[in-house]
Amino acid sequence: MISLQTSFSTYFQPSPNKFRVIIGASKYLKTPRIIVPKFPNHIEKQLIELNKLSYNNLPLNHETLPTTKDIVTIKLYAILEAVSDRIEMHQNIGEQRDNWNSLLLNSVNMITLTAATMAGLADVSGSHAVELKVSSTLLFLAGTGIITIMNKIQPSQLAEEQRTAVRLFKKLRTKIQTALAIRKPLQKDIDDAMEKVLALDRAYPLPLLGAMIEKFPEGLEPAKWWPSHLTSEECKGGLMGSGKNGWSKELQDDIREIVRVIKSKDVEDYVRLGNMALKLNKMLGVTGPILTGIAAVGAAFVGHGGPWAGIVAAAAGSMAVVVNTIEHGGQIGMVFEMYRNCAGFFRMLEENAERTLEEEELEKRENGEVFEMKMGLNLGRSLIELRELADKSRRNGGSVDEFASKLY
């Protein structure tokens, strides 16, 4: 054991020779030197003088100034930025209003059911009948106020408006990006983009007070989110084709027949369905507050004249929950808005086709082949199906047994 300790201490004992080797080696380790180049005196003086000058005093180079086309591009990018901001705003507000629908519906149903339960217990509670009766009456009155506000603003319809606005603003953003990618933008592109943004703002307003779309109009009017004048897509000549710019007499006749089918079938059908949804929504919107009001009156008279007051309060409250669930849980307002937007979409196709065909100079129209392809894509039909539909409408005098669109 002693021998092991001796060998261990001898092995790990520091030797003075080792320190001498390390100290000696440090003499040969040199710190790296950074060589900074030195400018000649006349160049150094010029750099000092340049640093003293301000940016505003520097002479302008007219070659670096933005040209007219560059300014047009900058303006179009500014509109593109505003469109992206609109998309974010409508997305956020749409989510908020969708939450309104679910939260308010759950709240008003819980309030109504609680009030109905209290009204039913008030008859058999004895000494606590007054407290239950007053609480039930107040809850029914609160539920009546909440459901009246919900029926007035229709949160599900508001959320659908914002979803549609997001889709249309994204479509406009894509068009602007395409215009910037394929060619130099023109002033006409700026004017058209500005008017389309403002038209969308008018069609789908963000605020509620003073700008909200009427939720219970006399009848369904198709939504309109496009400018009234001819847009740049319809005014510009196409890049494809020559001579007649891709148009022929047969193509023009086909487009007219397709517009005829859209008018007689698609637009009319969505207007009819929208009016049915509107009538149902109006009926439910009036019935819900009436039932909760009757329940509030019944709850106030619980204990007077037999058990009928409590029965009326409980039954009317329960029926009000069912009506509110059908109206707002079933999102009848959203269904009406969907029909309104679909009718507006077909009305837009109809107006665009009619305006294009009214332009007598073929070179000023959009290219006929491109226009036909876009029409087929919008209706969910191939070019062959589109021509077959036009032939069927022509043979039957505009009366066909199918809709122009296969998408909606």
- pLDDT (tens digit per residue) in 29-73: 454 454 444 545 544 554 455 444 433 444 444 444 455 558 888
Confidence category of residue 103, pLDDT binned at 50, 70, 90: very high
Q: What are the structure tokens assigned to 260, written together?
A: 């005829």
CA distances to 184, 220, 288, 307, 398 from 231, rounded to whole Å, are: 17, 26, 45, 69, 28
- Compute the average pLDDT of residues 323-338: 93
Name 348's Cβ contacts closer than 8 Å, sequence gap at least 6. Answer: 224, 225, 226
Task: Provide CB contacts within 8 A for 319, sequence distance 6+.
Answer: 291
Confidence bin at 124 (pLDDT 50/70/90): confident
Residue type, 367: N
The pLDDT > 90 percentage for the chain reads: 50
Give me the pLDDT at residue 40, please: 52
Residue 16 pLDDT: 47
Give the per-residue pLDDT at 69.
57
Name the DSSP class of 362.
G
Average pLDDT over residues 366-374: 90
Mean residue pLDDT of the chain comes to 81
Q: Could you tell me what percent of the chain has a pLDDT over 70?
A: 78
Q: Name the least confident of 151-160, 203-212, 264-273, 387-396.
A: 203-212
**pLDDT > 90? residue 401:** no
Taking the CA of residue 147 as centre, how many other CA atoms within 13 Å lie in the half-sphere pointing to its CB? 34
Summarised one tens digit per residue, pLDDT across range 227-275 is 876 444 444 444 444 448 889 999 999 999 999 999 999 999 999 999 9
CB 235 within 8 A of CB 364: yes
pTM: 0.75
pLDDT in tens, 130-169: 888 889 999 999 999 999 999 999 999 999 999 999 999 9
Q: For residues 168 and 25, which has the higher predicted lDDT (pLDDT)?
A: 168
Q: How far apart are CA 7 and CA 10, in angstroms?
A: 5
Residue-level pLDDT at 302:
82
Is the model's pLDDT at 95 over the cut of 90? yes
- How large is the average pLDDT for residues 205-233? 80
Report DSSP letters for 7-54, one per residue.
HHHHHHSPPHHHHHHHHHHHTT--PPPPPPP---HHHHHHHHHHHHS-
Residue 239's pLDDT is 43
Mean local confidence (pLDDT), 361-367: 87
Indicate the domain borders of the chain: 68-220+242-395
